[in-house]
Amino acid sequence: MVTGDFITGRYDPLEDCITEVARLRAPLGVWGCNGNHEIYARAEQKSAELFQRFGMKLLRMENAELHWNGSSFNLIGVDYQRQRDAEGGHPPMLVGVQPLVRRDIPNILLSHNPNSFPKAAELGIELSLAGHTHGGQVRVEILDYRWSPAEFLTPYVAGMYQRPLFASSALGDRELSVSHPTSNAQPPISSIYVNRGLGTIGAPVRLGVPPEITLITLRRAV
């Protein structure tokens, strides 16, 4: 799963990047979604065409049912979910995704922007995979406090986060922690994993935020 930002700008070598991605090998194939820099470069469709040329699949508001060891799951992919429109407003996240969500098998969402997670949880998507933040690219530690500049953009900077499945996206994580206190009867959970990625933006520096390729093991619920 490759969650976008194959390039930075329109003059970057998109085909060279996707040629490298095509060296990946996976039993169920290589899948991806576009990031915000594909939008900036006007390369969303070109990315999809290159993925197809190399026998991979870039999902653009699409889903696919995948099968493994007698089990199935529903993989959904969307283009970058914008946080602001041309007028400075905040457009809703994941518009049109609900018909792609299955209730008979688990759902995995590829969405570059982790801020789509509250809406994904509300829609009943069990797992989201995102990137976008580079893990903040820099992390400062002072005594027991850790801070990343990505916290200005999102509460989902790097790693795993969870919300109750079907919880309203209008509620913040702190509000949910109050309305769903820890107990023996936990509601079903939606999770997101935010990958730190491999590249950089702006300064070619990572400080306290090493690049990352993540291996996630999915297990049947007991």
Q: Which residue has the higher pLDDT, 133 or 76?
A: 76
pLDDT of residue 88 exceeding 90: no
| Class of residue 162 by CB neighbours under 10 A (exposed 0-12, middle 13-18, buried 19+) | middle
Count of the separate structural domains present in the chain: 1
Domain membership of residue 140 (yes or no) is yes
Domain membership of residue 217 (yes or no) is no
Domain membership of residue 85 (yes or no) is yes
Domain that holds residue 125: 14-194
- φ, ψ for residue 20 (rounded to 5)? -70, -45
Give the model's pLDDT for residue 81.
95
The predicted-structure confidence for 131-170, as pLDDT tens digits, reads as follows 998 888 888 777 677 777 777 788 999 999 999 999 999 8
Give the model's pLDDT for residue 53.
97
Domain membership of residue 214 (yes or no) is no
Domain membership of residue 4 (yes or no) is no
Work out the pLDDT band at 54, boundaries 50, 70, 90: very high
Domain membership of residue 164 (yes or no) is yes
Domain membership of residue 123 (yes or no) is yes
Domain membership of residue 157 (yes or no) is yes
Coil vs helix vs strand at 138: strand
Strand positions, DSSP E, the chain: 31-32, 57-58, 62-68, 71-77, 107-110, 127-130, 140-142, 145-147, 159-164, 189-194
Q: Got the DSSP string for 154-166?
A: -S--SEEEEEETT
pLDDT of residue 102 exceeding 80: yes
| Number of Cβ within a 10 Å radius of residue 164 | 18
pTM: 0.90
